[in-house]
Chain A
Amino acid sequence: MVSRVSCYFVLLAAALVMYSSCRTASGSRNVDTFDSLVLHTEWKFSLYYSGVHEDHGTGDEVIFSGDPLTFKTVRVFDTSGRPLYDIPLAAVLDSLGDIDGLTLLSKDRVFVLQNHGANYAIVDALGNVLEIHSLDSVLCANGKDLYSLYVDSKGIGVLGNDIFLSASWYGPCVDTSEAPFDPLAYYSVETRMCKLARLDLSSTEEDLRFWGCDMLAHLGKGTYHTAGSTGASILGGRIFVSSLYSPDLIEVDTGTLEVIRRVPLSHVNGAVGITPPQANLEDEANDGANTRIGTRAYVSDMVIDRPSGRLLVIVPHEVPEDSPPEKQRASRDWSVVVLDPSLAIINEFVLQGTAYRSGAILGLKSGTWVMRSESGIQGALKPKVFHRLLIP
Chain B
Amino acid sequence: MNRFLVFAVATLLSCGRADHFTELNDFLRERQMIQDGELPQVIIYISEKGCPVCGREFTEKVRPFVSAPGTLTIVNATGGSIDLTGLLYETATIRHDDKGEFEALGLLKNSGLIFLSEDRIDTVMPLRINEPLDAMEARLRRTLGNP
> Looking across the interface, which residue of chain B has its beta carbon closest to that of A328?
B100
**Residues of A bordering B, CB below 8 Å:** 43-44, 46, 67, 69-70, 98, 115, 284-287, 290, 324-326, 375-381
> Counting CB contacts under 8 A, is B14 at the interface?
no
Whether the pair A325, B78 counts as a contact (CB closer than 8 A) is: no
Whether the pair B50, A290 counts as a contact (CB closer than 8 A) is: yes
> Counting CB contacts under 8 A, is B99 at the interface?
yes
A-B contact number at CB 8 A = 64
Instruction: Please give the distance in Å from B133's CB to the nearest CB on chain A.
Output: 15
Known: A285-B50, A286-B51, A326-B100. A376 touches B83 (CB 8 A): no
Which of A98, A325, A326 has most chain B Cβ within 10 Å?
A325
User: Can you name 25 A-B residue pairings with CB atoms under 8 Å?
Assistant: A44-B78, A44-B79, A46-B80, A69-B79, A69-B82, A70-B79, A70-B84, A70-B88, A285-B50, A286-B129, A287-B50, A287-B110, A325-B100, A325-B101, A326-B99, A375-B98, A376-B78, A376-B96, A377-B75, A377-B77, A377-B78, A377-B79, A379-B98, A380-B79, A381-B88
- Extra 20 A-B pairs, beta carbons < 8 Å, given A43-B79, A285-B128, A377-B84: A44-B79, A46-B80, A69-B81, A70-B79, A70-B84, A70-B85, A98-B53, A286-B51, A286-B54, A286-B129, A287-B49, A290-B50, A324-B100, A325-B103, A325-B104, A326-B99, A376-B78, A376-B98, A377-B87, A377-B96
Bound form: Cα–Cα A377–B129 in Å: 25
Complex interface: chain B residues within 8 A of A67 (CB): 79
Bound form: Cα–Cα A379–B109 in Å: 23
Complex interface: chain A residues within 8 A of B78 (CB): 44, 376-377, 379-380
Whether the pair A287, B53 counts as a contact (CB closer than 8 A) is: no
Instruction: Please give the distance in Å from A92's CB to the nearest CB on chain B.
Output: 15
Bound form: Cα–Cα A50–B99 in Å: 25
Bound form: Cα–Cα A37–B83 in Å: 27
Whether the pair B100, A70 counts as a contact (CB closer than 8 A) is: no
Whether the pair B79, A287 counts as a contact (CB closer than 8 A) is: no
> Counting CB contacts under 8 A, is B29 at the interface?
no
Complex interface: chain A residues within 8 A of B85 (CB): 70
Complex interface: chain B residues within 8 A of A380 (CB): 78-79
List B residues 45-77 near A (Cβ within 8 Å): 49-51, 53-54, 56, 75, 77
Whether the pair A69, B83 counts as a contact (CB closer than 8 A) is: yes
Which of B87, B88, B109 has most chain A Cβ within 10 Å?
B88
Bound form: Cα–Cα A98–B83 in Å: 11
Quick one: CB contact mask for B9-51 with A, threshold 8 Å, 1 for yes?
0000000000000000000000000000000000000000111
The 7 closest A-B pairs by CB, nearest first: A376-B98, A325-B100, A286-B51, A69-B83, A70-B84, A44-B78, A380-B78
> Looking across the interface, which residue of chain A has its beta carbon closest to that of B128?
A285
